Structure 1
C-alpha cells in the first residue's frame, strides 16, 4: 500500500512540476516576445491561468497528505490522548463534509461549463472544475485512510496533531538521515 501511495505522490509531484515549469515558460516567453519583438502569444496567458489553478489544486492534495495546511495546534497539544483522538476525528469529519460539498459544486460547474470555452484557446472551462472534482476525490480518500487508522488504533499520539512546524520537519529529516545511515552501515 505504501508503494502505491509513494507512486501516486511522485506522479502528483511530477504533474505539479510540469504545471509550474510550463507556466514559467509561457509567461516569461510572452514577456520577452512583447518587450523584445513587440508581439506575443495570445493563448499563453490563458493556459498559464489554467496551469496555475491546476497547480493549486494538485498542491492541496499533497499538502493534506503531509499535514502542511495551516492550523493552530496549541490547544490540541494540551489535550489527553483521548481528547486528541476525538478532536482529530471531528476535524477529519469536517474536512470530509467540506470536500463532499466542494465536489458537488465542482461537478455541477463541470457539467455547466462543458459548452463554455475559453476565448483564446477554445479549451472548455470544464477542465478547471474537473480537476477540482479530482482534488476532492483524492482528499476524501486521504481522510478515509486517516479515519480507518484512528479507528483501528494504528496511529501514534504525535500523528493526531494535524500541523507540522518547520522545526519538527528539520528534526524529522535529521532522524530519517540518521536511520538511513545506520541502515547503510549494517548492510
Structure 2
C-alpha cells in the first residue's frame, strides 16, 4: 500500500511540475507573440486554460494525498483519542463518497456529454479538458484508501 502511494506521489509530482513548466513557457510564448510580434498566438490561450485546469485538479489530488489541505485541527485535538480516530474515519469515508459520486461518476458523465464538442482553436474534444475531473477523483479515492489503511494500522484500540 505504501509503495502504491509512493508511486502515485512521484507520478503526480513529476506530472504537476511538467504541467507548470509547460504553462509558464506557453504563457510566455503568448505574451511574446502578442506584444513583441503583434500577432497573438491562436492556440496558446485556450491550451493554457486546459493546462491550468489539469494542474489545479491534479495538484489538489497530490496535496490531498500529502494531507496538506486546510484542516481545523484545534477542534479535533480536543477530542479523545477514540473520538479523533472515529472522526478521521468519518472524514475519509465522506471524502470517498464525494470523490466517487461527484468527481468520478459525475465527471465521467460530463466527459461523455462534452466529448462530441470540439474546442475552438485546438480542435480537440472538450471532454479532454473535463477528463481530469474523474481521473483526479480516482486519485483522491486511492489516497483516501491509503489514509484509511494507515488509520487501521495505528488504531488506538490495538495499542
TM-score, length of structure 2 as denominator length: 0.90
Instruction: Report the more deviating stretch, 85-94 or 1-10.
Output: 1-10
**1:36 — aligned with what?**
36
Cα pair distance change 1:8/1:52, threshold 3 Å: same
Superposition CA RMSD, Å: 1.5
SS at match of 1:75: helix
Matched, 1:17 2:13: no
Aligned-residue offset at 1:156: 7.2
Matched, 1:143 2:144: yes
Matched, 1:128 2:129: yes
Cα pair distance change 1:100/1:4, threshold 3 Å: closer
TM-score, length of structure 1 as denominator length: 0.78
SS at match of 2:70: coil
Structure index of larger Rg: 1
Aligned-residue offset at 1:44: 0.4
Unmatched 5+ stretches in structure 1: 158-187
Aligned-residue offset at 1:120: 0.3
Aligned-residue offset at 1:22: 1.1
C-alpha distance in structure 2 between counterparts of 1:29 and 1:61, whole Å: 28
Aligned-residue offset at 1:51: 0.4
1:112-159: CA deviation from partner (whole Å, max 9, x where unpaired): 011111100011111122111111111111112222333x3x1277xx
1:6-55: CA deviation from partner (whole Å, max 9, x where unpaired): 23211211110111111111111111111111112100001100000000
Aligned-residue offset at 1:106: 0.6
**1:47 — aligned with what?**
47
Unmatched 5+ stretches in structure 2: none
Map 1:1-187 → 2, pairs under 5 A: 1-102=1-102, 103-150=104-151, 152=152, 154-155=153-154
Contact 2:85 2:155 in 1 (8 A): no
C-alpha distance in structure 2 between counterparts of 1:143 and 1:96, whole Å: 7
C-alpha distance in structure 1 between counterparts of 2:17 and 2:90, whole Å: 33
